[in-house]
Structures are given as C-alpha cells and as structure tokens.
Amino acid sequence: MKIGNTDLGDRPLFLAPMEDITDPSFRSICKNFGADFVYTEFISSDGLIRDGLKSVRKLNINDDERPIGIQIYGHLVESMVEAAMIAESARPELIDINFGCPVKKIANRGAGSGMMKNVPLMVEITDVIVKAVRLPVTVKTRLGWDEESKNIVEIAERLQDVGIAALTIHGRTRSQMYKGNADWRLIGEVKNNPRISIPVIGNGDIDSPERARYAFDRYGVDGIMIGRATVGRPWIFREIKHYFMTGEILPDPGLNEKIDLAIMHLNKSIEHKEGNRAIYEMRRHLSNYFKGLPHFKETRLKLLTTLDPDEILDILEYIRNNWSAYYNNTDQSS
C-alpha cells in the first residue's frame, strides 16, 4: 500500500489520532511495537492559525515517529486551508482532514463528523486543501450522521474525485459515538466499489490479532487503523504482526516488560510536556498497563491519584516486587 510516495508495505497498521493520547511519547512507543504509520493528535485549524500554544505544540514531530500524518479539523474554508499550509511546514508525510470526530462541542459547530451534514462543504474544503499543499491529503470520516444517512459510498467517491490520496472510515455513524458495533460491511462496500481506486483504511473495534486478520481477509481493506485498543496496550501492533506471520497468539508481555515500558513512557511524557499535564495524560495508560492484576484496587488508586513522578516510580517498583509471583504462575496469553 502506498500513500503518495510513502510505501507502507502489505497490510499496514495505523495508530489512530487521539486527543491527549497520541503525543510524541506514545507515537514513538507504538512505532517501536510495529505501527507502520502514526498521526498527531487532531489539531484545531482555528487554534493553529491564531498561533495557539496547545495547537502549535502538536506540530512537533521527531524523526523516530516517521512516517507520520498531521490531522487538522475545522469548519471554515479559509481557516482550514491556512492551517493545512502551516501543518505542511512541519514536514509530515501527509495532511489528514478530520471529518469524523463525534464530540458534541466539535460536531455541533459543523466540524469533525458534523461536516457529514454538509457534504458539499466537506468536499469544498477538501478540494481547496488538496490544491493548496504539495503533500498528499487524506481524510478520516464516519459512515454518516445517523442510521438514516449512511452516505459514505457517495462521500468516498466525491472525495476521491477532488484528489485525496487515501480514505479512513470509522465504521460507526456520528450518532453512535463509540457505542454498538462498527459496521465493517459498509467499509467493505466502499473498498470494493469499482469507482474507488485510492487506498481504503478501516477503523473500529480492532482489538485482537484475529479481528485484524478477519478485517483484511473479509473486507479487503488496504490498511487497518487502531485507536482505543492501543491505550495502555501499545504492544497490540506486535501481537497482530506476529499473528500474521506465524498464526500464533503472542503471550501478554511479562510484568517486568510492562513496568519498564511504563517507566519509559512516563519519562518520555515528562520530557515532552510541562507541569502536571504529563501525569494526567499518562493515567489512562497506567490504568491499562496492569489491568487484571488481582487485589490491585488500592495500589491502582495510588498510581492514578499521585502527581509526584518519583512516587509513581516507587509504586511501579512496588508492583514489580509484589506481583511477580502472580505473573510467573499465571498464563498471560492474550
């Protein structure tokens, strides 16, 4: 699979862009575990053109994260074009447009998946961005606004016609948010539409190697994007690739590997963020790194409430010393 001049090989795996999650520290870790392509957190076009610190900071890219895409969102043509040109100056491999975020404060003002209620504007924004930048432009979107308006087949054709290089489809409507099951049937319909020649990347509910292989084999997608299943579990990319190569399910990482990973993740996060933000945004990962440990409630509470990095490191070593026997005597197959 290729996007522009970037060759991602056969059956590539993409790390989904996620707010407060896919920061440089997490992107780097996921790359180390086998993610073929990663994205920045999504960036507000308004914040970017106004030189907002939070938005501008998201443009920071390290070489070990490449290939990488910068994702922008907004609902005004001029702002989106200007933001795309600013993002291009950060030298990503592509510019991705977010037409899929279902969050109320974004969708209700016509950005993200709110754009699915105004397809002509969606197409116009995409068209002018494609013409304004030299990099490949891709789009991430959903099946439609609600059950009565699943118009992704038409949208895919119209976006391809104005020059996008690839399309990622989350298999839910905006109304579903993240509830219910992703509808991969419609993703497959887009991929197998004889009018569609660009790569189609499927997204939604991929949380195991078996589901990943089924999505490729059953629906013929060119790539798979994984989001929520990576949080506190970046090794899912390694698990999937191992399964593709061998047909075997890798055992869950051992406790020492998880603790070493958590320490590295914490240090990277602190390196990239100021104040307590690094700790706050690490908590959802830390919560999942040690999911399933018995009699862990009290320790978990301490881990997720302290703001002292040294105390977190002490707690991680406490976990290493007190739960090693459980790991050594338990089958950790995933």
Q: What residues are paired with 167 via a beta bridge?
A: 139, 200
Burial of 69 per CB tally in 10 Å (0-12, 13-18, 19+): buried
How many other β-carbons are positioned within 10 Å of the β-carbon of residue 245?
A: 8
101 in active site: yes
Q: Of the residues 21, 43, 87, 101, which is catalytic?
A: 101
Q: Which 3 state secondary structure label does DSSP give 64?
A: helix
Antiparallel, parallel or unpaired: β 68-73 and 43-44: parallel
**Strand runs (DSSP E) across 24-145, as ranges?**
38-39, 43-44, 68-73, 94-99, 137-142
DSSP run (H or E) holding 191: helix 184-191
Of 131, 106, 129, 118, nearest in space to 46 by CA: 106
Burial of 308 per CB tally in 10 Å (0-12, 13-18, 19+): exposed
Token look-up 């996008």 returns 164
- The identity of residue 243, as a single letter, is Y
Alpha-carbon torsion angle 115, 116, 118, 123, nearest 10: 80
Residues marked as catalytic: 101
